[in-house]
Structure 1
């Protein structure tokens, strides 16, 4: 059994560009690592010294199973990010908490049953984005124009019928020219930034595991860095510790100032190829976690 297991999923095999870079960087730290499907009952997670959640991109339709898996793994070995963080972060209603504490967040309306959909769509007369509060890889997410409110309502009602709440956000015009900026943090420290092209060019996304994105190297502005650092400090205070890895996705608001559109602490692509030292920084942080003292494991059998 390798020192480190990278939790993935079967559909992601060969698709996670971060994985080979991280495995190689961990090898440079003297650690063996390999990927394993989180849903594979035959994996002995407890035999690894540490498990890092990476490309578990298929968790959204079975979030309950995923969180049960995380708690089982955490009972027998070190898990990063921790199960409690995953439980909090896999429901995008965490954005409510950020906004309530004064963090600039993209304006969002919420619908938890069909009777709330019309009110959630009403505040924004122009293009809107409809998505589930539990989703990964932009699945079940779409952009709708003013003449497509019936289609937007239909998507929202389909998501609600599947047992997930819905969030609605205005489509920000500056995204078409500027795209998103992702800030990657390791152990609470800023590592690198990248640019992500506008994901929604109109209409619904395809049914695949994740949406194809145009990723570029980018230097974060002072304003973006300040907001990203603020969010990471907030997360550390909220969860009790800085996460091993984090990605803060920012978009330009109407006035050009950055706003938070997502804080990814579960299975974000970190786009390690966009910064030469990124994989080494993450591997060094994993190695440091392994050297840190850990509470004794429970006497129960291993998680499988």
Structure 2
């Protein structure tokens, strides 16, 4: 646990939640610390699974980089249930850490990437039409255990089946999606929303370049490197993002942040790849004023919540 600012009597106390592998946060999240201090907020960085932390002592607990939760999701969700004044809240964490939420959003008429699910022990037959597909766990973070397969290639078909067997043997639900080729040219667009007085407000957008170059062959670290550049969101992207956020159970006023990841579909219109409400990179360093806007979002939530005694 790292105290970045010495607390004084009367200062709001905020815990910034990370994992043991990132005890001082990752560089982008560290950009939040100075704006919090400038607003008179004492920030402490702590790992979510550190038993020495008294989470109830904080005025607000902000999830940022607990990126090791994927293999311990039940433990992570149970922990979130015990934390008062957690943002985003524990019920949102439970819903959003299993990507089967995509089915709910699709049923709510949100345009999403078509997704199939393979439960542990369930047989899977590659589609006869072949084509490129992405396989990954329904519970994952940072593109861990994710691979891209050309199912017209016999070797790739075998590697895809081996990938699914690894996930099945680990008791994990797998998801299978068509690979949208536009990501190789247009890239993926992440739209970032931060809390304001009237709910979530659009802050900025970035472009993520293609990350998946081929099959997943086994463990490759906590997260994969990303090629990030600033991007101007289009009206069509913003419209889809608003539809996504309108379908979030419980509404968005409770949220500190949201990230909506979009890729052009086959006809060029944006479709949802993921809605990140638990521990997304917010890319604060890619937009002027973004760290300050997140600090203001923290202030907004502090004003809504009762202080601990």
TM-score greater than 0.5 by the shorter chain:
yes
Structure 1 counterpart of 2:106: 99
Structure 2 counterpart of 1:129: 134
Question: CA offsets, 1:192-215, max 9 Å, x none?
Answer: 000000110122275210010000
Question: Higher relative CO (CA 8 A, sep ≥ 6), structure 1 or 2?
Answer: 1
* Higher mean C-alpha displacement, 92-101 vs 285-294: 285-294
Quick check: 1:283 aligned with 2:295?
yes
Structure 2 counterpart of 1:165: 173
Structure 2 counterpart of 1:186: 194
Question: Is the 1:23–1:34 contact (alpha carbons within 8 Å) kept by the matching residues of 2?
Answer: no
TM-superposed deviation, 1:216: 0.3
Question: CA offsets, 1:170-224, max 9 Å, x none?
Answer: 1111111111000001122111000000110122275210010000000011100
Question: Is the 1:190–1:229 contact (alpha carbons within 8 Å) kept by the matching residues of 2?
Answer: no
Quick check: 1:25 aligned with 2:30?
no
CA distance in structure 2 between the partners assigned to 1:52 and 1:168 by the alignment: 31
Q: Runs of 5+ in structure 2 lacking a partner? A: 8-12
SS in structure 2 opposite 1:189? strand
Structure 2 counterpart of 1:224: 237
Question: Is the 1:81–1:265 contact (alpha carbons within 8 Å) kept by the matching residues of 2?
Answer: yes
Structure 1 counterpart of 2:20: 10
Q: TM-score, normalised by structure 2?
A: 0.90
TM-superposed deviation, 1:14: 4.6
TM-superposed deviation, 1:295: 8.8
CA distance in structure 2 between the partners assigned to 1:253 and 1:240 by the alignment: 27
Q: Aligned ranges for residues 110-121 of structure 1 at < 5 Å?
A: 110-118=117-125, 121=126
Q: Aligned ranges for residues 35-184 of structure 1 at < 5 Å?
A: 35-74=45-84, 78-118=85-125, 121-122=126-127, 125-146=130-151, 147=153, 148-184=156-192
Choose between structure 1 and 2: higher helix proportion.
Answer: 1
TM-superposed deviation, 1:56: 0.4
CA distance in structure 2 between the partners assigned to 1:225 and 1:247 by the alignment: 12
TM-superposed deviation, 1:25: 1.3
Q: TM-score, normalised by structure 1?
A: 0.91
CA distance in structure 1 between the partners assigned to 2:18 and 2:188 by the alignment: 25
Question: Is the 1:144–1:152 contact (alpha carbons within 8 Å) kept by the matching residues of 2?
Answer: yes
TM-superposed deviation, 1:15: 5.7
CA distance in structure 2 between the partners assigned to 1:49 and 1:286 by the alignment: 10
- Indicate the RMSD between aligned Cα atoms, in angstroms: 1.7
Q: How many residues align?
A: 290
Question: Is the 2:183–2:264 contact (alpha carbons within 8 Å) kept by the matching residues of 1?
Answer: yes
Question: CA offsets, 1:53-73, max 9 Å, x none?
Answer: 000000010011111111111
CA distance in structure 2 between the partners assigned to 1:20 and 1:190 by the alignment: 21
SS in structure 2 opposite 1:35? strand
Q: List, as ranges, runs of 4+ consecutive aligned residues in structure 1 with deviation greater than 4 Å.
A: none
SS in structure 1 opposite 2:41? coil
Match of residue 223, structure 2, among 207, 210, 222: 210
